[in-house]
């Protein structure tokens, strides 16, 4: 079934997040705000037994339940295969004003939003539900998902921190469930950290408890969720080459440093500083330029004391003019903003966000990793002869 099918399709809102209690509170709020809405949920906790349990429910309880077999030993793959057919059945049944897809703990919303869109449905909004008091602990948690029974496949090597960061930064709406039972009270620093990590997200307080029983439930979450979501733009905002990164900020004990420079890093000095740079902030991300690898845009992604560095394709300056027509307009626009007459779009653009950030010390450390004036003046041929300290890390 597609957008031209004979049955009217309900708009789809995706609700995800590792904070399960907050996620359930957000879903309950949507059920209260939009009478008649239906929630689809795939529980991946049973994946070790070879199946994924699917439930369909509304505000009154479970309407249907079933199982989907694993696909390629991957619970997330089973979810992808099963989700769109369930949405089709829901659309064919008619009468549903809103379909809420509640993701299991470690499932990331980006992949599911793209699956829903490819299936011909409209993603009206993506919500990540958050307990503000747990943001810093989760960003600092470098444990593998598998250690907590949260892996979505036997080969899943993600950590709690990097998964939570991606869930948080992709969503257009953050549903804030403060003062959940068993959770500490969130303070100004917790809320400021959220605001700086994802400044463009709409943050909607939802409280806790039983929203369905509230006599005057505020529809603010539903309004925010149904405001519209551009899956293609959201993907571009996460791509290292044109990522929509946070701006400079400093408030309530939390700071964001935006570090932008026009000369390459010395590979050995940067490599030696990686541990200190990774641990300098709760979250850091961006793109960088390494001397000796002038054609390759490198992606920096750190959370939980762990750093992922990988190639994100070529700098546009390294491509022939004819190839530019094949590059998406948003990518060309991002390159134009960074364009330098000599180096093109090659640059350092790294962003560090954390409570208690030592901005001066961090800037000094970053500056020390750049080529010196003499090394810079030596030119590209000399840069290419520098020791390839990153080759092992990049699996070159």
| 92 lies in the same domain as 224 | yes
What pLDDT, on a 0 to 100 scale, did the predictor assign at position 376? 96
Contact between 49 and 70 under an 8 Å Cβ cutoff? The reply is: no
* 301, 196, 358, 389 alpha-carbon torsion, rounded to 10°: 10
Q: What are phi and psi of 376, to 5 degrees?
A: -65, -45
For residue 265, what pLDDT is reported? 97
Of 186, 217, 238, which one is at a domain's C-terminal end?
A: 238
User: 259 and 140 in one domain?
Assistant: no
Domain that holds residue 295: 249-383
CB neighbours of residue 227 within 10 Å: 12
What DSSP letter does each residue of 123-140 carry, written as one string? EEEEEEEE-GGGHHHHHT
pLDDT digits (tens, 9 = 90+) for 206-228: 975 444 444 444 589 999 999 99
Residues 330 and 198 placed together within one structural domain of the fold: no
CA distances from 283 to 62, 133, 326 (A): 39, 16, 32
Torsion of CA 278, 284, 290, 295, to 10 degrees: 140
Q: Are residues 310 and 367 in the same domain?
A: yes
Looking at the fold, whether 200 and 255 belong to one and the same domain comes out as: no
Cite the beta strand spans of 254-305 per DSSP E.
254-261, 283-288, 296-303
CATH number at residue 285: 3.30.1220.10
Under the banding of pLDDT at 50, 70 and 90, the label for residue 300 is very high
Asked whether residue 40 falls in the same domain as residue 118, the answer is: yes
Encoded tokens for 371? 């080529």
For 147-159, how does the pLDDT look when each residue is reduced to its tens digit (9 = 90+)?
A: 988 988 778 889 9
pTM of the shown model: 0.91
In a domain, 394, yes or no: no
Final residue before a domain boundary, out of 214, 238, 262 = 238
Q: State the average pLDDT for the chain.
A: 90
Of 157, 57, 139, nearest in space to 102 by CA? 57
Token pair, residue 20, equals 């399960």
């Amino acid at each position: 079934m597609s957008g031209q099918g004979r049955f009217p399709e309900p708009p789809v809102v995706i609700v995800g997040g590792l904070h399960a209690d907050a996620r359930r509170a957000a879903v309950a709020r949507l059920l209260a705000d939009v009478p008649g809405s239906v929630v689809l949920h795939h529980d991946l906790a049973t994946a070790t037994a070879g199946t994924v349990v699917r439930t369909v429910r509304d505000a009154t309880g479970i309407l249907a339940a079933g199982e989907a077999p694993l696909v390629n030993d991957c619970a997330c793959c089973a979810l992808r295969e099963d989700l769109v057919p369930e949405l089709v059945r829901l659309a064919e049944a008619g009468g549903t004003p809103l379909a809420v897809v509640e993701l299991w703990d470690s499932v990331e919303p980006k992949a599911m939003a793209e699956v829903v869109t490819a299936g011909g449905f409209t993603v009206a909004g993506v919500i990540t539900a958050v307990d503000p008091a747990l943001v810093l602990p989760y960003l600092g948690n470098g444990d593998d998902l598998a250690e907590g029974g949260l892996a979505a496949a036997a080969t899943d090597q993600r950590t709690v921190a990097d998964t939570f960061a991606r869930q948080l930064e992709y969503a257009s709406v953050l549903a804030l469930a403060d003062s959940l039972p068993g959770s500490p009270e969130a303070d100004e620093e917790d809320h400021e950290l959220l605001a700086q990590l994802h400044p463009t997200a709409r943050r909607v307080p939802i409280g806790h408890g039983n929203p369905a029983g509230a006599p005057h439930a505020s529809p603010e979450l539903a309004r925010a969720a149904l405001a519209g979501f551009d899956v293609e733009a959201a993907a571009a905002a996460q791509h290292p080459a044109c990522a929509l990164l946070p701006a400079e900020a400093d408030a309530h004990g939390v700071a964001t440093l935006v570090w932008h420079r026009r000369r390459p890093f010395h590979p050995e000095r940067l490599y030696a500083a990686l541990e200190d740079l990774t641990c300098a902030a709760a979250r850091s991300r961006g793109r960088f330029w390494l001397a000796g690898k002038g054609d390759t845009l490198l992606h920096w992604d750190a959370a939980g004391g762990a750093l992922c560095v990988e190639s994100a394709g070529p700098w546009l300056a390294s491509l022939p003019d004819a190839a530019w027509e094949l590059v998406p307009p948003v990518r060309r626009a991002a390159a134009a903003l960074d364009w330098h007459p000599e180096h093109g779009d090659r640059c350092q653009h790294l962003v560090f966000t954390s409570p208690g950030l030592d901005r001066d010390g961090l800037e000094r450390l970053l500056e020390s990793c750049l080529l010196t004036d003499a090394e810079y003046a030596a030119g590209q041929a000399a840069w290419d002869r520098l020791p390839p300290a990153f080759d092992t890390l990049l699996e070159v």
